[in-house]
Amino acid sequence: MKKYPNEFNLMGRPTPLKRCSCLLGIWLFAISGLHAAEKMPFLYKVGALPVQTEKIDRKEAGVSPLLALYTEIFSAVLRDSHRFVLIEEGVVAAHWENPEEREKWVATEEISGFVCLTLTADTNAVHVLLRLLSPDGLDVWLQEMTTWEKTEFFHADASIIEKRLRTSLYALLNRLPLDVTISAIQGNLLTITGGNAQGLVVGDQVDLLRSHIRTRSPATQEWESFTVEKVGRARILEVEETTAVAQLLTVSETGALSIGDGIVRPNMPSRHFFQLAENRVQAPAPQVPATPENIPTEKAAPTAPASAKPAASLSQKMEKGVEQVGEAILQTPVHINQLVKRMVEELTADAGLRLLDFSGPFDSSTKFLWYLPLNTAGVSANRHLYEHFYYAVGIGGGLGSTKEGGSYTGYYGDTRLYWEQALQTPFHGVERWQVGGIGTVEGLSVRGDTFGGFDEVQGGVFGGLLGHFTYERNTGAREEGTSSPNRETLQIPWFAEFRLTPLTLGRIGYEGTQHTLGSSLGWKVVSGAFWPKIYEINWGASVEYGRQSLADTHSKVTTVGTTAVKVLANWKY
C-alpha cells in the first residue's frame, strides 16, 4: 500500500489556498477605491440648450428682446471657443422636450453633453448660471455663476453683456483639463479635434495626455479637480481649420492610446482671452458651487465693521469637531482612490484552464474536468514609473484534480521591473518592445498522489513585443450614389513574451518527504491579443507554454510542464 503524504505543507504553515485567499483579499481591498477614478468623458459633440429662466416674467416689457440677445451672444461665444462640435439651440430644442425621443437622438448622434445658460432672479439681483451637463441632462459636471444688479441687468449695453458672458463661459471651459482630444486612431495616425483655430501647426510636437476626475463636490457632485498624466508624444502632419492629423512618436504607457486622450493648447481662444491685459482683471473669481441654498434671495444690507468674535463655547467646539470627523469619513473613499491611483494605472484579470505535468522520480499530471473548465484565476496591475521604466505585480491561484485521483490547490505571484520603448521596424503591426527582470513565487499542495507539491521562489529575465493588427470591415449597406460599402478600421492589440528563469529556491515533495531544490532552469512563452475596445472593459485571450527542470539535493531531476489558455479582461484608469 502506497504511503501518500497528507499534503505537502507539513510544518503547520498556512496552505497555498489560504495564502492565495489572503493575497486576493488584500488586492480586493486595495482596488476597492478605483471605481471613483473616472476617466474624463470624451467631449466632442456638445449641444447648446435654449436659454432657461426662473422667476423672470418673459411677458414683461423688454424681457423678450433681452432673452433673444442672450441667446444670440451665448451661441456666438460657444462657437468662438472652438472647444466642441456645437449642436445649435434650434436643433437641440426640437428633440429636448420628449425624453424618449431625446434619448434616441443623443445615442444616434453620439452627443457628449450639453451647455446650459439659466437666468434666475430674486428681489434685487439676477444670477447668470452656466452649466456643463451630462448627455442625459441629469448630472451637472461644471458650473459658473455671475450676479447682476437688477437695474444694470435690464439696461446693460450689448457689448457689456457679451464681455461678461464670454468671461464667465470661458472660465467654465478653461476648467476642463484637455483642450483638444483624439477622436480616431488608425495605426500610428491620430485624428485630433483641433486645427488652425486651436493654434496647431504642421511640424509641432505635442504631448499626449490622459485625464481622470480626481475629486467631486460633496454637495453637487460636479467636477472639482483632475489628474493629468503624459501617455505619449506625437507630431502634427496635416492641419485644417478645426481638425488635424498627427503621427504617434512614442507611447509612455502600456496599452497604447485611447479615444478621449488629448492635448493642452495655451493659445486656445478661451485661454488666450484671459492672456489679454484688458481681460485679466475681469476674470471671475472662483465661485462657490451654485446650489439653491447659496443663491441669494435678497440683497444684503450694509454691515457695520466687524467686532471681535467671542470665544467659541465647548459645545460649539465639540460640534465643529464632529463635523470635521464626518467630513473626513466622507472623504475617505477619495483618499483611498488617490492612494491606489498612485500605484496602479492598468488592471488585468484572467481566468482559464491551466494543466501541469510532472516527470522524474514520479509521474503525475493534472486533468481537465468538464464541470470545471476554468481552474485558475488571477489579477495583475502595472504602472509607469519614470521615462521608459514600468513595474507590474500579479497574483493568482487555482485548484483541480490529478489523474492519479488526488486533488490540488495552488498559488502564484510575480513582480516585474522593466524598460519599454517604441520600436522602429519594417514589420507591420510591431510597435514596442520591453525587457526587464522578473521574480515569481509559486506553490502547489497535492493530496492523495505520489507527488506532494512544491513551493519555490524564482528569479529571471523576460523580453517581449507589443503592437496592433489593423483590419477593415463593412459597417453597413452601400450609401446612395456610392459603389462601395461603408468601412471601419479596427485595431487588435497583441503581445508576446519569452521568460527565462535560471534561479530557484524552494522544495519539492515526493515519496512522503520534502526535498530541497539545488538548481533549476525554466522557460515560458506567453502570447495573446485583445478584441478592439468597445466598452470600458477590453476583452482578450492568451496562451502559455513552458518547461522547467528542478534538481534536488539528491541529483534527481523533476520536469514540470505548463500549458494554459486564459480569458483576459483589461481596465485602464
Mean pLDDT of the chain: 78
Predicted structure pTM score: 0.47
Contacts of 141 (CB under 8 A, 6+ apart): 41, 113, 131, 132, 133, 134, 222, 223
Residue 488: pLDDT band with limits 50, 70, 90: low
- Please write down the long-range contacts of 107-114, taking CB distance under 8 Å and 24 or more positions apart: 109/45, 110/44, 110/45, 111/45, 111/46, 111/47, 111/87, 111/135, 112/41, 112/42, 112/43, 112/44, 112/45, 112/46, 112/84, 113/41, 113/43, 113/46, 113/47, 113/141, 114/46, 114/47, 114/48, 114/49
Percent of the chain with pLDDT over 70: 76
Instruction: Compute the distance between CA of residue 401 and CA of residue 448 in angstroms, rounded to an integer.
Output: 10
Residue given cell 522593466 in the structure block = 418
Q: Which of 57-61, 123-127, 473-477 is the least confident region?
A: 473-477
Predicted pLDDT of residue 316? 55
Residue 221: pLDDT band with limits 50, 70, 90: confident
Residue 297: pLDDT band with limits 50, 70, 90: very low
Average pLDDT over residues 430-436: 89
Among 21-30, 326-335, 546-555, name the most confident range.
546-555
**477's grid cell:** 449597406
Instruction: Compute the distance between CA of residue 529 and CA of residue 470 in angstroms, rounded to an integer.
Output: 12
Question: Which residues on adjacent β-strands are paired with residue 258?
Answer: none
Residue 229: pLDDT band with limits 50, 70, 90: confident
Average pLDDT over residues 329-349: 63
Q: What is the pLDDT of residues 62-121, one digit of tens each?
A: 788 888 889 889 988 988 888 888 888 888 888 888 888 888 899 888 899 999 999 998
Q: Say if residues 84 and 98 touch (Cβ distance below 8 Å).
A: no
Predicted pLDDT of residue 573? 63
Percent of the chain with pLDDT over 90: 23
Contacts of 262 (CB under 8 A, 6+ apart): 178, 179, 180, 181, 182, 192, 193, 208, 209, 211
Comparison of pLDDT for 130 and 279, the residue scoring more: 130
The candidate with the shortest Cα–Cα distance to 192, out of 41, 42, 40, 47, is 42
> Does 508 have pLDDT greater than 50?
yes
For domain 344-474+486-572, the CATH class is: mainly beta
Predicted pLDDT of residue 336? 56
Predicted pLDDT of residue 416? 94
Question: Is residue 572 helix, strand or coil?
Answer: strand
Q: What is the pLDDT of residues 377-406, one digit of tens each?
A: 999 998 877 767 888 999 999 988 888 878
Predicted pLDDT of residue 479? 46
Predicted pLDDT of residue 113? 92
Residue given cell 433673444 in the structure block = 68
Predicted pLDDT of residue 290? 40
The candidate with the shortest Cα–Cα distance to 210, out of 182, 184, 174, 170, is 182
Q: Which of 27-41, 208-222, 277-291, 428-442 is the least confident region?
A: 277-291
Q: What are the boundaries of each domain within the chain?
A: 45-297+331-337, 344-474+486-572
Q: How many whole angstroms from its chain centre is CA 556? A: 50
Instruction: Compute the distance between CA of residue 513 and CA of residue 453 in angstroms, rounded to an integer.
Output: 10
Write out the H or E segment, with its range, that includes residue 207: strand 205-216
Predicted pLDDT of residue 289? 40
Question: Is residue 65 helix, strand or coil?
Answer: helix
Instruction: Compute the distance between CA of residue 543 and CA of residue 409 in angstroms, rounded to an integer.
Output: 21
Predicted pLDDT of residue 485? 53
